[in-house]
Structures are given as C-alpha cells and as structure tokens.
Amino acid sequence: MPRCLRNARRRGPTAPSTSSSSIRPSCHNRKFPCQLHHAWRDWRSPLIRPRQGDPVPRRDTPPPRTGGSETETLRGFLDYLRSSIAAKVEGAPEPQARTAAVPSGTSLLGLLDHLTFVERAMFLGEEVTAWPATFRVAPADAVADVVARYRETVADANAVLDGCPDPGAPVPRPRPGRPAPSVRWALTHMIEETGRHAGHADILRELIDGTTGR
C-alpha cells in the first residue's frame, strides 16, 4: 500500500473545514469564476447592502383568492404579479435602479422594461427584433417613466383581454407572421415570465436598499 494511503488510514477521516475561508468564493476556485467572486464581494459591501440595525421597509400583499372562471383566475394571478413587480421598482433610488448588480448585467429597471416589451408582443401583437436590448434602459428614462410605461402597457393589454372570455380562443392580435397562441397559453406564459422576473426584482431591490416583501 502506498505510504500516503497508510498515513491517511492512521489519521482517519477528516471532517470538512467550515472556516469562512473555506466557503468564501475565490477567483482560484473553479466553481466560482472571478466575476462571481467580485459580485459576491460587492454584495457584502455596505455601499450596496444595508447596515445591520437599519430599519428595513417591508410590504406584503398576499396572492389573490380568485375562485371564478379559468380566465378570471389566470388574469387575477397575472395582475397580482404585475402589481407586485411594478411596486418593487417604484421608488427605487437612482442610479442603483439602473445599475447592474449581478455579473449577467441585469438591473431593476431593465427587468421592468423587458416585461413591457413582452406584454406588448404577447397581447398587442408588436414585433421585437432584439430581445437582449429590451433589458437596457435609455439614460433619459427615470424610474417613474419606466414604471408608468409598464402600467400603461398593462392597461392596454387588459383592454384586449377584456374581449377574450374564452381561454381556448386565439389571442386577437398575434405578432406578424406567427400563429396565434390561445389566450390560455398567453396568460400562462405571462404568469411564468412575470413571476420569474418578479423574483429577480425582489433580490435586486433588497440589495439596493433593503426593501423586502411582495
């Protein structure tokens, strides 16, 4: 038996280290690339993360208790998520609201602007040629502008949905050159899309100023 194995048997099993240095992401750790290490370091910075003991604002709006038709239930949950992410972005401080807080480049305003484009494509039939660009907000757009544009788009989309009581019917304004999905599929897709980005927004807003809740 090799000497190293004999020595290991004499020492017995070694418990994994739990020191902070062993779990801290490092540029030399292949599981944590350099970019993720820097993002982790910035997250710990008091400039981004609220100090311990600071009052943390929190809002909590429970999900809807819709019990009507299928369409009413789907629209109820979609409107709930729409309101949640708009409220999460509203009042966020500049320039943090437009500054990427993760290595992927995602920002709080970029998430909401992207959802505005998705709503317009799904329910208003507008074509989007460059989806990655929808995550980038124009420098002249303030937080209030982005939130107002999103809410206006939601109102336009709901006006279209008001004329679609049958969830199995095709959406009335499909994108050019594409088959029209059913209202059911469109609503379900928007619930998934909005819910996913609302979760992203939860994390980004908490990193900015400690605001939590739904």
Indicate if the pLDDT at residue 80 is higher than 80. yes
Integer Cα distance of 157 and 203 in angstroms: 27
Phi, psi of 27 (to 5 degrees): -65, -20
Q: What is the pLDDT of residues 37-66, one digit of tens each?
A: 454 455 443 434 544 455 555 667 777 886
- Contact of 93 with 208, CB cutoff 8 Å: yes
User: In 100-209, at which residue ranges do the beta strands (DSSP E only) sit?
Assistant: none
Q: Could you give the 3-state DSSP secondary structure of residue 93?
A: coil
- Domains in the chain with CATH codes: 82-213 (1.20.120.450)
pLDDT above 90 covers a percentage of the chain that reads 63
The single residue listed with the structure tokens 């990427």 is 100
Helix (H) or strand (E) holding 213: strand 212-213
Nearest to 183 by CA among 118, 123, 121, 114: 123
Q: What's CA 74's distance to the chain center, in Å?
A: 20
Nearest to 214 by CA among 60, 73, 72, 82: 60
Indicate if the pLDDT at residue 33 is higher than 90. no
- Contact of 83 with 73, CB cutoff 8 Å: no
10 confidence band (pLDDT: 50, 70, 90): low
Helix (H) or strand (E) holding 11: helix 3-11
What amino acid occupies position 211?
T
Integer Cα distance of 207 and 209 in angstroms: 6
Q: What is the pLDDT of residues 97-151, one digit of tens each?
A: 999 988 999 999 999 999 999 999 999 999 999 999 999 999 999 999 999 999 9
